Amino acid sequence: MRKLISFKIFVFTFYIIFCSVNLSASERIIFIDKNSDEADFYKRLLNNVHEKNICLITNQSGIGKYLFIPSLKSYPSYFHEVLGKYGIKLLKIFSPEHGLSSQSESTGLSTDSILTGNFIVYPAYHKTFRELQVMYDGCEAILFDLPDAGIRSYTYRTIMTRTIEAINVMKKQPVLYLLDKPNPASIYTPLAPMVNDEYFSYLGEENIPFFPFFTYAELMRYFISKKKINIDIKYIAMMHYRSGVDVIGKSINPPSPSLPHARALQCYWIGIFFEGTTLDYGKYTKDPFCLIGHPDINYKSDPPQIQGIVFKKYVYKPFAGPYQGVLMRGYEMNITDIYKVQPVKAAYTILEYFYREYPGIKLFTPGNPHYHIDRILGGNSFRSSIEKKVSYKKWESGERKKINKFIYEMENFKMY
């Protein structure tokens, strides 16, 4: 009796979730229980793939890990062996920045080809959608399986948007299977700044907030609607996912060399704001994104106290980057309670401090055509407000109207 009641509750919940989503004629949602064994999850996925020649866009944080497991039979890898059981052939593998194995700062292709038994791995990083259109030729289906880091300028999302645009202009369109992933920064609501069209680049080509809150699939539904794209896309949805719940504290597969663990990921949500400045942000250290430094810091004062963060004086030398081998005076950033941290406000407060206390550092560097920090954040309001000594509260209130409009529009594309 208890099992029957549980089943009825599950069916009702599934019906509510599924029927509350407005789908176009070319969209499908497939729910697979991610809480089951991971290998079983991918087998359930392959049961839903009916095309014979598939291509993968992945790295070691997703289905790509099975390409590095040797087959006990005459297959290049264990994954090839599993595909053989379903009568599916792996035609091409595409990797993002850092490569399939996430061991490189660029593509890592030489490493990947050795580890996968010399199976060719094609770089999808920094490719235009026209280049991807050519590269995807022959794929009957494409499986997109890459992790999320929770912010707009994470370039894996750009591979996804350009993949969708590439498929849209192909004469023989492959089916796209988009494996949805948790948004680790969904403990926050969507946070400013909002991205402006003139700042579109490989760091993001969507009108979304810097912290978009929603998942890959939800944002792609928004993107497809805005662009009026018509492709055959199947969203592999997370059956038990709830935004902001059970995201923090879970073990993660490192999405890139710069984000090897949860501490780095949480620091990243603040440290990414320093990447477009003359401050060092610890990327090329053993504590990536959790260090803030500069050769001219003299400790005449300490950064202001920020809720959920404790700063400790720290001296280090980056092993790469513009400050390679240079002795850096700075601070170690220790997040004591991620739920109390307001990442955008924290970054604004820290940059306000350095702009005020160390004018000789010349914090913001011009670029062509945009300041580096503006290019990363997708607009100039954040930087210019700090330069004009505008309070965080006043700057954020100016962005709030655009954020609220985005949240309202996303009601039509929510899946969870």
The reply to whether 205 and 79 lie within a common domain is yes
Same domain, 141 and 119: yes
In a shared domain, residues 40 and 169: yes
Instruction: For residue 19, tell me if it sits in a domain.
Output: yes
Query: Which domain CATH number covers 58?
Result: 3.40.50.12170
Kindly state whether residue 391 falls inside one of the protein's structural domains: no
Q: What is the pLDDT of residue 65?
A: 87
Looking at every residue in the chain, the average pLDDT score rounds to: 88
Asked if 120 and 197 sit in the same domain, the reply is: yes
Percentage of residues in the chain with pLDDT exceeding 90? 67
Shared-domain flag, residues 236 and 93: yes
Q: Which amino acid is at 359?
A: P
In the beta sheet, which residues pair with residue 294? 329
Q: Is 186 inside a domain boundary? A: yes
Are 11 and 139 found together in one domain?
Answer: yes
Helix ranges restricted to H, 63-194: 78-85, 109-115, 129-135, 156-169
Domain shared by 167 and 230, yes or no? yes
Paired tokens of 253: 């597969």
- Tell me, yes or no, whether 236 and 268 share the same domain: no
Q: 299 phi and psi, to 5 degrees? A: 60, 30
Phi-psi region of 212 (alpha: psi -120 to 50; beta: other; left: phi over 0): alpha
Q: Is residue 305 part of a domain?
A: yes
pTM of the entire predicted model: 0.89
pLDDT in tens, 60-102: 888 888 888 888 888 888 888 999 989 999 999 999 988 888 7
Same-domain pairing of 102 and 129: yes
DSSP at 255: S
pLDDT digits (tens, 9 = 90+) for 13-55: 343 344 446 677 688 999 987 666 777 888 889 989 999 999 9
d(CA 301, CA 333): 16
Asked whether residue 339 is assigned to any structural domain, the reply reads yes
147 and 243 assigned to the same domain: yes
Residue 4 has pLDDT above 60, yes or no: no
Given 252, 276, 294, the domain boundary residue is 252
* Residue 404 resides in a domain: no
Last residue of a domain, one of 233, 252, 271: 252
Based on the fold, state whether residues 154 and 226 are members of the same structural domain.
yes
Q: Looking at the domain assignment, is residue 385 inside a domain?
A: no
Closest-CA residue to 333 (of 377, 295, 287): 287
pLDDT at 389 over 70: yes
Q: What is the mean pLDDT of residues 375-390?
A: 96
Mean pLDDT of 359-368: 92
* Strand partners of residue 277: 364
Distances in Å between the Cα of 400 and the Cα atoms of 191, 208, 396 are: 8, 13, 6
Are 386 and 352 in contact by the 8 Å Cβ rule? The answer is: yes
Q: What is the pLDDT, as a whole number, of residue 189? A: 94
Q: Which CATH number covers residue 318? A: 3.90.1150.140
Closest by CA to 349, choosing from 309, 379, 306, 405, is 306
Domain of residue 305, residue span = 262-379
Burial class (CB in 10 A: 0-12, 13-18, 19+), 8: exposed
The number of distinct structural domains making up the chain is 2
On whether both 206 and 314 belong to a single domain, the answer is no
DSSP type of residue 312: E
Q: Is 317 within a domain? A: yes
Please give the pLDDT value at position 35.
Answer: 64
Neighbours of 360 (CB within 10 A): 7
Domain boundary among 252, 278, 313: 252
Instruction: Express each pLDDT in 91-115 by its tens digit.
Output: 999 999 888 887 766 555 555 665 6
Average pLDDT over residues 295-313: 94
Decide if 214 contacts 237 (C-beta within 8 A).
no
| Helices and strands per DSSP (H, E), number in the chain | 12, 12
